[in-house]
């Protein structure tokens, strides 16, 4: 500590202030210009901060260029111990990304919501921007459908009763009677239901403790390839073992 007070990192202060401003919008989308104005920062500086926060998962950039809070905050809300458990899964998630060549998502069902706990991508396997928050799009994503299909019936009905099935693309199923969820142990598919031109596969992560799933962005031709299914199931099993080890070490 210096004589004049503690040494503070201004860039960290600014980044935290940007996240606070987005949070203050209480679910409304925030644009870079209004964030810069509220924070009293130059627009160029604000863009750099927004890109960094979005890359790290603290914020999420939507297709229209606005920002909302990101998935990383959900992980923090689960308590530090839970976040450390999720960190144990990164080697397995990275292996799956490299084997299948697509961004990988780990999601859990926590406090009645579908929560993205981790995203592992790379320049060669970029993530798909979640232009609609996953809380409102579980019915249209492979990872959301996989979680819903593996929930107890009562929990699934509670979730669907409180979450309208939003129409996101021409392929999105918005009639609950037509919503196709995987049977226990089966994979879930998203073939352009969340975003046009984006396809994903998801497998359940079976730990015996909670409901989780791992999803990978893949090509339409890979959706029915047995080798892809086997690799995804192997990756899900590795994630399950990592979660079990993480819980046991707490």
β-pair partners for 216: 104, 201
What is the per-residue pLDDT for 250?
A: 43
Q: For the chain, which domains are there? A: 10-69 (1.10.10.10), 73-249 (3.30.450.40)
Share of the chain above pLDDT 90, in %: 47
Confidence of residue 79 (pLDDT cuts 50, 70, 90): low
Asked if 105 and 116 count as a contact pair (C-beta separation under 8 A), the reply is yes
What is the per-residue pLDDT for 27?
A: 56
Give tens-digit pLDDT for 89-147: 889 999 999 999 999 999 988 888 888 888 898 888 888 766 556 777 899 999 999 99
Give tens-digit pLDDT for 12-51: 899 999 999 988 875 567 889 999 999 999 999 999 999 9
Query: Is the pLDDT at 2 greater than 50, yes or no?
Result: no
Residue 187 vs residue 245, higher pLDDT: 187
Q: What is the DSSP annotation of 181-227?
A: -PPTT--EEEESSSSTT-EEEEEEEE-SSSEEEEEEEE-GGGTT-HH
Query: Is the pLDDT at 1 greater than 50, yes or no?
Result: no
Q: What is the pTM of this model?
A: 0.69
Query: Is the pLDDT at 229 greater than 80, yes or no?
Result: yes
* 106 Cβ contact list (under 8 Å, min separation 6): 86, 89, 93, 116, 117, 118, 119, 205, 212, 213, 214, 239
Percentage helix, strand, coil for the chain under 3-state DSSP, each rounded to 5: 45, 20, 35
Confidence of residue 5 (pLDDT cuts 50, 70, 90): low
Burial (CB count within 10 angstroms: exposed 0-12, middle 13-18, buried 19+), residue 196: exposed
Beta strand extents in the chain (DSSP E only) = 59-61, 67-69, 104-110, 113-120, 188-191, 199-206, 211-218
What is the per-residue pLDDT for 88?
A: 84
Confidence of residue 185 (pLDDT cuts 50, 70, 90): confident
Q: State how far the Cα of 231 lies from the Cα of 121, in Å rounded to an integer.
A: 17
Share of the chain above pLDDT 70, in %: 87
Q: State how far the Cα of 113 lies from the Cα of 204, in Å rounded to an integer.
A: 16
What 3 state SS string does 110-122 have? ECCEEEEEEEECE
Q: State how far the Cα of 89 lies from the Cα of 245, in Å rounded to an integer.
A: 10
Query: Is the pLDDT at 190 greater than 70, yes or no?
Result: yes
Asked if 68 and 30 count as a contact pair (C-beta separation under 8 A), the reply is yes
Reading the block at residue 74, the tokens are 């959900």
Reading the block at residue 100, the tokens are 């299948």
Average pLDDT, the chain: 85
Give tens-digit pLDDT for 42-67: 999 999 999 999 888 888 888 788 88
């Amino acid at each position: 500590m210096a004589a004049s007070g503690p040494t503070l990192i201004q860039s960290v202060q600014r980044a935290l202030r940007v996240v606070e401003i987005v949070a203050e919008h209480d679910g409304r989308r925030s644009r870079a210009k209004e964030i810069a104005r509220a924070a009293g920062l130059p627009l160029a500086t604000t863009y750099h901060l927004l890109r960094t926060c979005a890359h790290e998962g603290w914020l999420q950039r939507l297709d229209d260029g606005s920002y909302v809070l990101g998935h990383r905050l959900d992980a923090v809300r689960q308590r530090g111990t839970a976040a450390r458990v999720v960190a144990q899964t990164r080697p397995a998630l990275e292996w799956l990304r490299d084997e299948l060549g697509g961004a990988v998502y780990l999601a859990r069902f926590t406090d009645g919501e579908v929560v993205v706990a981790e995203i592992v991508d790379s320049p060669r396997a970029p993530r798909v921007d979640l232009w609609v928050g996953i809380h409102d799009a579980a019915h249209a994503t492979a990872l959301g459908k996989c979680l819903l299909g593996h929930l107890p019936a009562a929990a699934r009905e509670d979730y669907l009763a409180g979450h309208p099935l939003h129409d996101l693309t021409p392929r999105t199923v918005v009639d609950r009677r037509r919503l196709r969820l995987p049977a226990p142990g089966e994979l879930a598919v998203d073939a352009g239901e969340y975003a046009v031109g984006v396809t994903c596969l998801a497998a359940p992560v079976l730990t015996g403790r909670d409901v989780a799933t791992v999803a990978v962005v893949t090509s339409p031709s890979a959706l029915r390839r047995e080798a892809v299914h086997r690799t995804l199931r192997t990756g899900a099993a590795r994630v399950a073992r990592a979660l079990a080890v993480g819980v046991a070490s707490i």
